[in-house]
Every structure is written in structure tokens, then in C-alpha cells.
């Protein structure tokens, strides 16, 4: 069945380092992916999205890479800050209505 998952449940980095969070998906027909950030006690917050006709998309301090050959995407956060500490989810919107979320990666940034 369709699933979206992340490789690592936790990631610990030092302030100023670059962070890379990975995600694998199983549905070859998936064509739209979104990264969300969820802080404690809050709902998921949109970070960046990418469509399947792109390999890379950049935002402010964040970059998403999509490798359709191996069905993998990653979120890169440059110069990670303590405020980046949160749970990060990749989500697949291929179904058109539902967002299919993975389990999430908890990013901890120490100063």
C-alpha cells in the first residue's frame, strides 16, 4: 500500500550546522510532496513543497531534493537554529484529497 516514511526518528545537531532529514515513499504515482514542521502543542506548519516535475526547490534556509528514481526526498536546513527544533514530517498529496504523512523525525538543536 501507499506509505511515506522517514529514515530516522531523531536527529541531533549543533547550532549552525546544516541538517538533512530524509524521507522515502512507495507510490511511484506520487506527484506532490510537502514538508511540515510541528512544534510541541501546535499543528503542522507548511515549510516547502515540490512537484514531481522538479528535482530541487529552495526556500529561505531550506532546500528540498526529490529523487524519483529511488523514491526519496530530503529536507536540508542550512545554519540550523534552536528555533528549528521540532518534529518534521514529509507528506504525499498524490491521493488528491488526503495528505499521507510519515511518522516524523524529531530534530534537536543544541547551542
Partner 1 sequence: ETGVTQSPTHLIKTRGQQVTLRCSSQSGHNTVSWYQQALGQGPQFIFQYYREEENGRGNFPPRFSGLQFPNYSSELNVNALELDDSALYLCASSLMAGGGNEQFFGPGTRLTVL
The site for partner 1 (CB under 8 A) is made up of 4, 31-32, 34, 36, 41-46, 49, 51, 89, 91, 93-104
Q: How far is Cα 46 from Cα 23, in angstroms, rounded to an integer?
A: 16
Q: Which is nearer to partner 1, 44 or 77 (CB)?
A: 44
- Distance from C-alpha of 64 to C-alpha of 59, rounded to nearest angstrom: 8
Q: Let me know if 76 is exposed, middle or buried by CB neighbors in 10 A (0-12, 13-18, 19+).
A: middle
Q: Nearer Cβ to partner 1, position 17 or 31?
A: 31
Shortest gap between Cβ of 74 and partner 1 (angstroms)? Answer: 17
Q: Judged by CB, which is closer to partner 1: 14, or 42?
A: 42
Q: Minimum Å distance from CB 21 to partner 1?
A: 13
> What is the C-alpha to C-alpha distance for residues 83 and 98, in angstroms, rounded to an integer?
29
Amino acid at each position: 500500500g501507499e506509505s511515506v516514511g522517514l529514515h530516522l526518528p531523531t536527529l541531533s545537531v549543533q547550532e549552525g550546522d546544516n541538517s538533512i532529514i530524509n524521507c522515502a515513499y512507495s507510490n511511484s504515482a506520487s506527484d506532490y510532496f510537502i514538508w511540515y514542521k510541528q512544534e510541541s502543542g501546535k499543528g503542522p506548519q507548511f515549510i516547502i513543497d515540490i512537484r514531481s516535475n522538479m528535482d530541487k526547490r529552495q526556500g529561505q534556509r531550506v532546500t528540498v531534493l526529490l529523487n524519483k528514481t529511488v523514491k526519496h526526498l530530503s529536507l536540508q536546513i542550512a545554519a540550523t537554529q534552536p528555533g528549528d527544533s521540532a518534529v518534521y514530517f514529509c507528506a504525499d498529496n498524490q491521493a488528491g484529497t488526503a495528505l499521507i504523512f510519515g511518522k516524523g523525525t524529531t530534530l534537536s538543536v543544541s547551542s
